[in-house]
């Protein structure tokens, strides 16, 4: 059992307010990823949870038990919190072989030798480093050392694992393999995992939930697809997804109960009232930003519907299994992702089928989502 609750956590380094009133619950069995750009406070959050840093305000509960109460200066020491950490800088014991590094914790617990052998072999295999068992850390590359550090953390199948960018030193192919291994490990062991990364693909592919931070503020906590389909604000929308979401500026206002947005390029979109965020009641006209994911646009060579939008092809980028097509609608560039390989010439005139149901609308001033995309 590992449930962790952070309540009203503030962390300062000197005068710098690094974590701003963080409230986050990690349920038992979650694969919770802390995501956000460099410097947003992910590592600091992990260090606060693990007890390496003391927050100035707030509470942390582990399985309902108070482990931090800043006002009363109560901070359980890291060792008493029963967690396993893998930091970006992996400290392996240099005088021990890979096998000994990974086996160490099990030996301390007086695990029988044959069980240690079996579990170490399994952890090393999972990390694809079985062949290096008898080497010393100095005889390994950075990426191999990083995988030993992961093996050392997972070998005892702890109920709570904390990872700080554990795949950062691996090359692209290995990183993809390791994602799959960590995801499977999570399913097989039922461990609770808190995982820090700035890589949105890593977060989307592995997590059960993502907590996304900007400048020390926790902006949204949601399952990956929810975050992708309905980002809470413009920053989340822009950070998640590759190719990036398209933003189209316009002026919005209510028409009856519906929202109508007229874009800078003169197109008008109508959004049904049932998809508007509750409580959204603009009094007059407001600056709106429409968000459209690249895969939500269909390109036609001839006009298929009255509502199709004429566009001019800017560039075409075939990428093997898909084609990325950039087009201009007036002065706005739109990126479209088509499955398979499609052919267009620069400056071809095409027609875009856009589905308002699939769009997000944001209020430019508050940056907040005001209209949900409908998910099939």
Tell me the residue number closest to Mg ion, measured at CB: 43
Q: Which does 29 bind (CB under 5 to 8 A by kind): ligand ADP, Mg ion, none?
A: none
Q: Which does 40 bind (CB under 5 to 8 A by kind): Mg ion, ligand ADP, none?
A: ligand ADP
Among the listed residues 162, 144, 145, the one whose alpha carbon sits nearest the alpha carbon of residue 153 = 162
Q: Which does 13 bind (CB under 5 to 8 A by kind): ligand ADP, Mg ion, none?
A: ligand ADP
What does 123-170 look like in DSSP terms, one character per residue? HHHHTT-GGGTT--GGGS-HHHHHHHHHHHHHTT--SEEEEESTTTTS
Please report whether residue 294 would count as binding ligand ADP according to CB under 6 A: no
Please report whether residue 39 would count as binding ligand ADP according to CB under 6 A: yes
Strands 160-164 and 192-197: parallel
Q: Quote the least distance from Cβ 340 to ligand ADP, whole Å.
A: 38
Report the length, in residues, of the chain.
Answer: 376
Please report whether residue 191 would count as binding Mg ion according to CB under 5 A: no
Please report whether residue 43 would count as binding Mg ion according to CB under 5 A: yes
Q: Which does 241 bind (CB under 5 to 8 A by kind): ligand ADP, Mg ion, none?
A: none
Cβ–Cβ < 8 Å for 276, 303: no
Q: Quote the least distance from Cβ 201 to ligand ADP, whole Å.
A: 17
**Based on CB atoms, which residue is closest to ligand ADP, 38 or 321?**
38
Q: Which stretch binds Mg ion (CB under 5 A): 36-44, 100-108, 127-135, 137-145?
A: 36-44
Please report whether residue 13 would count as binding ligand ADP according to CB under 6 A: yes
What does 201-267 look like in DSSP terms, one character per residue? HHHHHH-SEEEEEETTEEEEEE-HHHHHHS-SBHHHHHHSSSSPPEEEEEEEEEETTEEEEEETTS-
Q: Which stretch binds Mg ion (CB under 5 A): 38-46, 74-82, 305-313, 337-345?
A: 38-46
Cβ–Cβ < 8 Å for 2, 159: yes
Q: Quote the least distance from Cβ 343 to ligand ADP, whole Å.
A: 42
Among 38, 138, 283, 302, binds ligand ADP (CB under 6 A): 38
Distance between CA atoms of 103 and 101, rounded to whole angstroms? 6
Distance between CA atoms of 11 and 68, rounded to whole angstroms? 13
Site string for ligand ADP, 40-79 (x = CB under 6 A): xxxxx-----------------------------------
Task: Write the burial class of residue 175 (CB in 10 Å: 0-12 exposed, 13-18 middle, 19+ buried).
Answer: middle
Among 4, 9, 18, 350, binds ligand ADP (CB under 6 A): 18
Distance between CA atoms of 135 and 141, rounded to whole angstroms? 11
**Based on CB atoms, which residue is closest to Mg ion, 85 or 359?**
85
Cα-Cα end-to-end distance for the chain: 34
**Based on CB atoms, which residue is closest to ligand ADP, 36 or 252?**
36
**Based on CB atoms, which residue is closest to ligand ADP, 104 or 214?**
214
Q: Quote the least distance from Cβ 44 to ligand ADP, whole Å.
A: 3
Q: Write b or e for each residue in 315-342: b if 16 or more Cβ atoms lie within 10 A of its Cβ, otherwise e.
A: ebeeeeebbebbbebeebebbbbbeeee
Binding site for ligand ADP (CB under 6 A): 13, 18, 36, 38-44
Which residues make up the interface to Mg ion (CB under 5 A)?
43
């Amino acid at each position: 059992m590992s449930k962790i609750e952070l309540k009203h956590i503030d962390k300062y380094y000197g005068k710098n307010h690094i974590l701003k009133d963080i409230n986050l619950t990690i349920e038992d069995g979650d694969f919770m990823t802390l995501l956000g750009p460099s410097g947003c406070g992910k590592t600091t959050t992990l260090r606060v949870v693990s007890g390496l840093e003391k927050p100035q305000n707030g509470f942390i509960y582990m399985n309902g038990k108070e482990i931090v109460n800043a006002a009363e200066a109560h901070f359980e020491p890291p060792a008493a919190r029963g967690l396993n950490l893998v930091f970006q800088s992996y400290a392996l014991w240099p005088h021990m072989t890979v096998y000994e590094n990974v086996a160490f914790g099990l030996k301390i617990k007086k695990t029988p030798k044959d069980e240690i052998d079996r579990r170490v072999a399994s952890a090393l295999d999972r990390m694809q480093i079985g062949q290096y068992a008898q080497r010393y850390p100095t005889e390994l590359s950075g990426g191999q050392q990083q995988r030993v550090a992961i093996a050392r953390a997972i070998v005892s199948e702890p109920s709570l694992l904390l990872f700080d960018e554990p795949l950062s030193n691996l090359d692209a192919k290995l990183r993809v393999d390791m994602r799959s291994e960590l995801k499977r490990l999570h399913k097989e062991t039922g461990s609770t995992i808190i995982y820090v990364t700035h890589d949105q693909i890593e977060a989307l592919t592995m997590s059960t939930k993502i907590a996304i931070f900007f400048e020390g503020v926790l902006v949204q906590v949601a399952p990956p697809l929810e975050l992708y389909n309905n980002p809470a604000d413009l920053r989340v929308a822009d950070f998640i997804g590759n190719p990036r979401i398209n933003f189209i500026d316009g002026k919005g206002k209510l028409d009856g109960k519906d929202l109508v947005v007229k874009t800078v390029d003169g197109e008008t979109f109508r959004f049904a009232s049932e998809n508007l965020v509750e409580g959204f009641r603009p009094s007059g006209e407001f600056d709106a930003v429409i968000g459209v994911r690249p895969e939500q646009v269909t390109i036609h060579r001839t006009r298929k519907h009255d509502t199709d939008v004429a566009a001019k092809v800017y560039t075409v980028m075939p990428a093997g299994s898909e084609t990325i097509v950039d087009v201009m609608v007036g002065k706005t560039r739109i990126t479209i992702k088509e499955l398979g390989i499609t052919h267009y010439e620069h400056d071809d005139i095409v027609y875009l089928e856009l589905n308002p149901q699939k769009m997000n609308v944001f209020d430019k001033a508050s940056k907040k989502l005001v209209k949900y995309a409908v998910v099939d």
